[in-house]
Structures are given as structure tokens and as C-alpha cells.
Amino acid sequence: MSAVPESSTSAMQHAFAAHLRDPAHAPAPEGIEPRRITVYTELFFNNIESLVSANFPVIRTLYADDAWRDLVRAFYRDHRCHTPLFTDIAREFIRYLETRADGDDPPFLVELAHYEWSELALSLDETDLATIARDAHGDVVDGIPLASPLARVLAYRFPVHRISKDFRPTEAPEQPTLILLTRDRADALHFLEIDALTALLLERLQQNTTLSGRACLDALLTELGRDEPALRDSGLGILRHLRERDALLGTRIV
């Protein structure tokens, strides 16, 4: 079956799009004044560059101006986005970094990008905590704790929350970095480095609908083979701290 010939209009559109993505290597369509098409190439790229810079401020500080523009240009040129929404461009940038084969990229780059994107994603979550039924004054130790849908446990090989121009680790430490990201009742975002017990306990509470906080903690410690009074006391303190952080909204109404 022979291919359908491309119309002159379609051919011009494809040439125009290719030039917008890569003006250094894809020629502009014939018959368009260079000054005019330059306006479009700069406008489109600058919009994307500004958006990516705003969403990944820490990553931006790690690159000199030319190197940063080269990275964004490669994303703009090579990646095919699955969405036209500006709010999803940051996630598309992470997808690009995940598949990008460049030995010069720092080993923590994808994790740092995910860490920075997580703040944006949670800020855009449309969940309204005020509409969730619960006993806001309930006892999260002896009642059934209600985990916030706006609480996330993030796990990384690298200490992404410490990375900066002056701290760029080349090897991951032995222990992973665990971070609790929450959006509180005032819609403020908070990051907190946590230990493994806190992460495991919160994940268990997020799946729990029937057991008290104390029972969830005891079951977890038994599974870990760490049924020790001191550790149990620490766990009870964690329950109350999660409440203070709005990772627990109170207790379920039964």
C-alpha cells in the first residue's frame, strides 16, 4: 500500500515544528522571514526554560547558564511529552532524565528532580482536608488513626534534601534517605527527614482501617523482632508527632 503524499501545508507544519525544537540543525520552512521565525523559536524555548527552572530551582543552581540551556534544549528537542498541560511539564522532564543516557549527569539527578517535583505535585493535589470526616481531637494512640491523603513518604538513595552547589555526592551512602512530605490544614508544605520506623509505621497506618495506633505499632514491632519497651515508647511518640505534623488528621469515626 503506497503512502499518502504529504500536503504542502502539512510539510510546512512539520518543518516549522522541527525548527522550533532544534533551530541549529533543522532548517526553517522556506518563504518565512528569518526575523519572524526567530521570534517564535526564542519565545517557545524561553517559556519552557523558565518553567523548568521554576520547577527545579536546586537543579538549576548546579549548572552554568550555557550547560543549563543545553540540558533544557535537549529535553525540548528529544523528548515527546504525553500531555499539553504546563502543570505536567515537570513530570515530563523527570521522564526525560530517567531515559537520558548521558554519563556526565550526576548520579543523584533523577532523585533530586523527583524530590523537587514532589513539592509541586502535592501543592496541586485538589484534596480538601476540611471535607474529610474524622474526629480531629481523637486519640491516635488508642483510637483508629486516620492518615492524611496529603502525606507522602519519599525514599531516595541520595540525601537529596542536602544537595546544593557546594554538596554534590558522587556515591550513595549506605543508608537511604527517608523524607516525610506533608501538606497541612493551612495548605503549607513541610519536609522532614525521618527514620525507618516512622516510615514503616506511617505506611502501615495509611492501610489501616480497624486497629488502634498502639495495636498497629505493636504488630509492626513484632514483625521486626524489636518488641522492646524503649522502642515502643519511641513509637508512641512517633504517633503523636505524626499528628502534630498533620500526617495523621485525628481518628476515624466509628
Q: Give the CA distances from residue 182 to residues 123, 192, 232, 249, in Å, rounded to whole numbers and listed in that order.
A: 10, 9, 24, 11
The better pLDDT of the pair 32, 61 is held by 61
Considering the entire predicted model, what is its pTM? 0.86
In this prediction, residues 80-86 reach a mean pLDDT of 79
Residue 33 confidence (pLDDT) above 70: yes
Residue 3 confidence (pLDDT) above 60: no
In this prediction, residues 210-220 reach a mean pLDDT of 97
What is the per-residue pLDDT for 1?
40
What is the per-residue pLDDT for 19?
66
When pLDDT is cut at 50, 70 and 90, the band that residue 72 belongs to is very high
Residue 93 confidence (pLDDT) above 80: yes
Give the lowest-confidence range in 120-124, 144-148, 236-240.
120-124
Mean pLDDT, the chain, integer? 89
Transcribe 54-83 into DSSP letters: HH-HHHHHTS-HHHHHHHHHHHHHH---S-
Residue 2 confidence (pLDDT) above 50: no
Query: Hey, what domains does the chain have and what are their CATH numbers?
Result: 9-105 (1.10.150), 129-251 (3.90.930.50)
Residue 58 confidence (pLDDT) above 90: yes
